[in-house]
Structure 1
């Protein structure tokens, strides 16, 4: 028996050793390329591919300078000039002559003046206590290394230092872009140049420049001068401006890709050239926003002759290999009403508008190829007959379309989930990854008990076709929404007789549906916050309709193969300009675009820690301000134009804890609607899409409630004392001047502009102070009675939007109050 146990013990030991060897040698997950401890010591954004932090520092003094070990060119020289300029702004150290041995720069190879998609952007940094070595295989890598060095600059004990570390860095994706729409609202040259500086700071390398729209054509054409003379109201970029901007971007390693949106979104083309349109003119620039009717005639050779000359002219201005043709949101009303176009379709066996647009795109692609350009377009352009010759497709409607494009053999760029104008928080964009599809259809599909409806969504005069499928019944009722080629499931349906209520997630937020079935009809509404969409449908299939349409096959999305993954080039953050101008656009782009930059640059394993992302993002927020980006200054400027002293400070206190509401809610504040001429000068324009004052406060509340942290409590008390008094300080500015009261009672619209703009957020001002007073009581140990209708109403109203804004500290205040409730 003893021998048995001895043998058993040996076997157990051998198994344990084997398991340990397997775990540590094969199965144990690899440590991340940057430890949590090391990443907490730096403010780099985006994070590098690998980094190991040391224990000491490199001390910066007036003798700091560089020497060039390898190759150099004007791009590196200009990069060094920018580096020293910003370095001086950060440290205020008067560098003597900028030549020395402290910073050794080793560039292995220089690239062409204009960057390309396949440039080597890698670099390495080694910082010791006496020397800094920056090495790269290209000049672009040197530029990125200098940007990282600036972000590493820090002050310790009164001295400016670089931390000792070693890092190796290269991008995860070669396409890391920002789309700026200059068509709807004019974006001037200075604003574009400023944003190129910000892009370079976070290693973004593509400016996608949207240059034509219903509302404006923004580029000088010497071949067709009527395009800019009649289509821009005088707001356009001269060809010299274009050359300057392209050169400015090239010096920073940034490619510039122009977008001329065709065949839709083309009113501005037709003002000077109505012969290109599918319906007779005359045309004037559109002053409203939305998806409008004007569309090019794809059946006439003269249209292609015009585009051939135009593309040739633009190809000489824009050196990039890609030219973006748009191709999105083509309304077919003019095609449907044009007898000549309908006859052309019949004669050429073109079945529908999608096939007609494909015919247009195929002919246009040949023109682009003639001028040595590759076609890029939004995901509506994808079609089996389009050649795979380098065509890039930008997916905006769904993440799934990105993968479909990659599987088709085309190149793919992701923008779904990266729309900055949707006003989603940085944390939302940080969850979006080109190589991961969240959600999808996960419910059980019951082919024995289902109903399918062909539906239309009506959004501002635009029809969106799709289907809704319901499965099961009673408490087990569930379904799938299938619109814009994206299937999203839903469950937890609330039933009330024939009315169904449920919600489904979309990139713009949570959409709530309330639908009623009557016979074979489906009627109701969808709402995103306060924005309402009409829904109409009819049953076209189901287990009770054996002759109806068959149930489609909802398949689990299969992973991409290694070859298909290579077709995904990266992504772009997008800033459409319906609700921004030159003053406010920076605040809508920055710093949130940096989160997209990090998702596209840094290793996937490093981009899931949201708290650390916000820590570094808020540091970058201040760095960008120091660079001259106007994201922090535009709001206070608007505040100062709304009220005079002594009301500017309390109004700014309020604005600091507001955030712009999501896209559709913002649109609702305009009566009858938003126009290109509508001033963007209201409180919502002063607020930012995300309040970092609110973020810090809400995090402090969580920290205090979880750990009773005394420092967090002190910070909370300070803010609450300010906010609790804020409404009383602002209230006089909200009142109606006596002279207006004496004349006659006036409606809000007839009040002076200052009062009407303030009145929009009066509820927020009241709620901020009321909730802060209650939170102060709770924080001081007093019980607060929250179980009454008055308190319920206060909480509900504080959670609502007012004037296109939300009170972003409402959740933190509510937690404090309810923590000490009676």
Structure 2
């Protein structure tokens, strides 16, 4: 780990140096104001926490968790394992002061002040939510030398830039248990995220128990759903962490599972439906012209809404092509009779009726940006997801919604299931360069990371969400000027390992997948390959490669690989600088990596082969031979023309996908080869 951090420190000095932060602290998200005081508070067995504020669950829960994580990380046997009221411990090492218990909403005050000196630590906040945000920052200040662990001396004043900093998890395409949800809630809290968007229904499954319409969970879920008690448990758990829970029931499209249970609500007369097993956009759609549809939704939402105390309720509303609407003569006649020129107009009619239902239940409607039409009431919240990042600079759906007076949240640029680099996500600025009035800017509530689960199971979901989501959390919390990519990368490496302490499995489960690939043989060669290969991006793994069903194997090589393959990042950076100055120190670092890749085939070749490993054979072999040739060239050895010609062919071969992954170093292997041959 130390060597990796050293690499990122050097990287910070050499490129991407926008608005560099002159600090070695590993805080994420970066606070609004940080002043270091050159003091430190040493962690000893006598450390105690006192709570000075109204009685509630959030601060005691977080303070107790803080003590466990502190003790585990430092190895210090802390004598008092629980916080105490201030009246019982007025000389506590850490004093947490706050005035009110917050009712979670977009108005919640999350600000805090944190002071660390040699004599003690204090956290001061208006609300208990601000206080627990301060405790998370304090834990990130833990450092050590050879003799002790200590908190770095600081004075921090902090508050979020945006009020909505969310993570959406899709549990329809692949179901994820309560334990999976809870560990991700803990990780969210550790980086100060405050909205969990629970995508509960789609074509592949309806994941909520319904006592009003029981076929939704008995017929349309494959037996994988959350009971009312489980939902209440998750909502209560999130509340203790200062996280709001927003449910999503996607209608009128993405409705195959609903129609599997209640086909009479469909737009295609006399059709039969079965739960969808593939990924994609499908035609089954609720019928918007029959009263039974609205009776069904009102009864369902009346049952479900009380499980989710938050004021917001997401109805989806995306990707309805309207094919079954076009094929239904009664629907076409309804459109003509009601002056609805397009299917978009018909969906607006549907959405307005849903909004009235939700308003009666005390809820604000949230929907994907397709719901934004001239007739949609301004009380709706627009969830922006379409278009490229560049579109935001020219006024994408987020900006358009704000300019029209809608509250709006951004997910465009934060689709982490696309397996793109954390750098791209980090550089997605919600407001961009558009000039907005104060009222328009206030309409932009924040953003959400979206984890669509077509290609993830509970074994791999953490590796797709984390650590990249921590960087997006910073984009939504920190000042707009905090944009230094390399300072972020350096801090992210520390946060990456800290996430394990809250139960995230993104690091440990890689070995589980690799052992499955090798049938429990030595996995070192495959580990080497996962550090330079990444899954195919932007859905090409599913669309242009293998076609996966919901029950296909997700324990393959691509599932062990992640975005931002570490050795690839390092090698590509080193080659860039070597080609610029032919520095011997850089050459030595390149040789270390090339030696590793040249040697990995010997390990790979010793594995007893199976059908899961066979597709990786040409990757391992050709990488080994190319790396050996480049090593000889770097060492000044004479390489036969035949070998050079073969190396060029091998590099071309390495440009193709292998087992739904791509080799992220191949372009720089080629650049290095052309420069040296």
- After superposition, the C-alpha distances for 1:374-402 in whole angstroms (9 at most, x for unaligned) are 0000000011111112x111011133011
Q: Where in structure 2 are the equivalents of 1:648-797 lying within 5 Å?
A: 648-668=523-543, 671=546, 673-702=547-576, 715-733=589-607, 755-782=610-637, 789-797=645-653
Aligned to 2:4: none
Q: Where in structure 2 are the equivalents of 1:344-363 lying within 5 Å?
A: 344-363=334-353
Aligned to 2:135: 146
Aligned to 2:21: 36
Change (3 A) 1:133 1:781: farther
The whole-number CA distance in structure 2 between the counterparts of 1:797 and 1:268 is 43
Secondary structure, in 3 states, of the residue corresponding to 2:350? helix
Secondary structure, in 3 states, of the residue corresponding to 2:514? helix
- After superposition, the C-alpha distances for 1:108-156 in whole angstroms (9 at most, x for unaligned) are 22213xx111100011111112211111111111111111111111112
CA drift of 1:687 comes to: 1.0
Q: Which one of 453, 457, 469 corresponds to residue 593 of structure 1?
A: 469
Structure 1 stretch displaced more, 99-108 or 704-713: 704-713
Question: Does the aligned pair in 1 maintain the 2:574–2:590 contact within 8 Å?
Answer: yes
Change (3 A) 1:50 1:710: farther
Question: Does the aligned pair in 1 maintain the 2:312–2:363 contact within 8 Å?
Answer: yes
Q: Where in structure 2 are the equivalents of 1:465-504 lying within 5 Å?
A: none
Aligned to 1:342: 332
Q: Unaligned 5+ residue runs, structure 1?
A: 1-31, 438-557, 736-754
The whole-number CA distance in structure 1 between the counterparts of 2:664 and 2:368 is 34
Q: Which one of 50, 72, 76 corresponds to residue 93 of structure 1?
A: 76
Aligned to 2:6: none
The whole-number CA distance in structure 2 between the counterparts of 1:344 and 1:49 is 55
Question: Does the aligned pair in 1 maintain the 2:48–2:94 contact within 8 Å?
Answer: yes
Q: Which one of 363, 369, 381 corresponds to residue 359 of structure 2?
A: 369
Q: Where in structure 2 are the equivalents of 1:147-186 lying within 5 Å?
A: 147-186=136-175
The whole-number CA distance in structure 2 between the counterparts of 1:180 and 1:785 is 54
Q: Which one of 121, 127, 146 corresponds to residue 110 of structure 2?
A: 121
Aligned to 1:563: 439
Secondary structure, in 3 states, of the residue corresponding to 1:326? coil
- After superposition, the C-alpha distances for 1:393-416 in whole angstroms (9 at most, x for unaligned) are 101113301111111111110111
Q: Which has the higher contact order (CA 8 A, sep 6+)?
A: 2
Aligned to 2:655: 799
CA drift of 1:724 comes to: 0.8
Q: Where in structure 2 are the equivalents of 1:200-279 lying within 5 Å?
A: 200-279=189-268
Aligned to 1:75: 58
Secondary structure, in 3 states, of the residue corresponding to 1:137? strand
The whole-number CA distance in structure 2 between the counterparts of 1:696 and 1:44 is 23
The whole-number CA distance in structure 1 between the counterparts of 2:591 and 2:149 is 33
CA drift of 1:324 comes to: 0.2
CA drift of 1:699 comes to: 3.6
Secondary structure, in 3 states, of the residue corresponding to 2:447? strand
Change (3 A) 1:63 1:696: farther
CA drift of 1:785 comes to: 7.9
CA drift of 1:92 comes to: 1.2
Question: Does the aligned pair in 2 maintain the 1:147–1:201 contact within 8 Å?
Answer: yes
Secondary structure, in 3 states, of the residue corresponding to 2:570? helix
Secondary structure, in 3 states, of the residue corresponding to 2:597? helix
Asked if 1:625 corresponds to 2:500, the answer is: yes
Q: Where in structure 2 are the equivalents of 1:408-427 lying within 5 Å?
A: 408-427=404-423
Q: Where in structure 2 are the equivalents of 1:267-346 lying within 5 Å?
A: 267-279=256-268, 280-346=270-336
Q: Which structure has greater helix proportion? A: 2
Change (3 A) 1:702 1:160: farther
The whole-number CA distance in structure 2 between the counterparts of 1:370 and 1:645 is 57
CA drift of 1:807 comes to: 1.6
CA drift of 1:426 comes to: 0.2
Question: Does the aligned pair in 1 maintain the 2:419–2:538 contact within 8 Å?
Answer: yes
Aligned to 1:45: 28
The whole-number CA distance in structure 2 between the counterparts of 1:239 and 1:818 is 63
CA drift of 1:796 comes to: 2.5
Question: Does the aligned pair in 1 maintain the 2:423–2:485 contact within 8 Å?
Answer: yes
Change (3 A) 1:717 1:57: farther
- After superposition, the C-alpha distances for 1:762-788 in whole angstroms (9 at most, x for unaligned) are 232123212321332244344668996
- Using the size of structure 2 for normalisation, the TM-score is 0.91
- Using the size of structure 1 for normalisation, the TM-score is 0.75
The whole-number CA distance in structure 2 between the counterparts of 1:756 and 1:677 is 19
- After superposition, the C-alpha distances for 1:551-594 in whole angstroms (9 at most, x for unaligned) are xxxxxxx6222211111000011010110011111111111111
The whole-number CA distance in structure 2 between the counterparts of 1:59 and 1:810 is 48
Change (3 A) 1:771 1:149: farther
Asked if 1:610 corresponds to 2:460, the answer is: no
Secondary structure, in 3 states, of the residue corresponding to 2:612? helix
- After superposition, the C-alpha distances for 1:529-549 in whole angstroms (9 at most, x for unaligned) are xxxxxxxxxxxxxxxxxxxxx
Aligned to 2:517: 642
Change (3 A) 1:58 1:715: farther
Q: Where in structure 2 are the equivalents of 1:531-546 lying within 5 Å?
A: none
Question: Does the aligned pair in 2 maintain the 1:395–1:412 contact within 8 Å?
Answer: yes
The whole-number CA distance in structure 2 between the counterparts of 1:130 and 1:634 is 41
Secondary structure, in 3 states, of the residue corresponding to 1:323? strand
The whole-number CA distance in structure 1 between the counterparts of 2:183 and 2:576 is 37
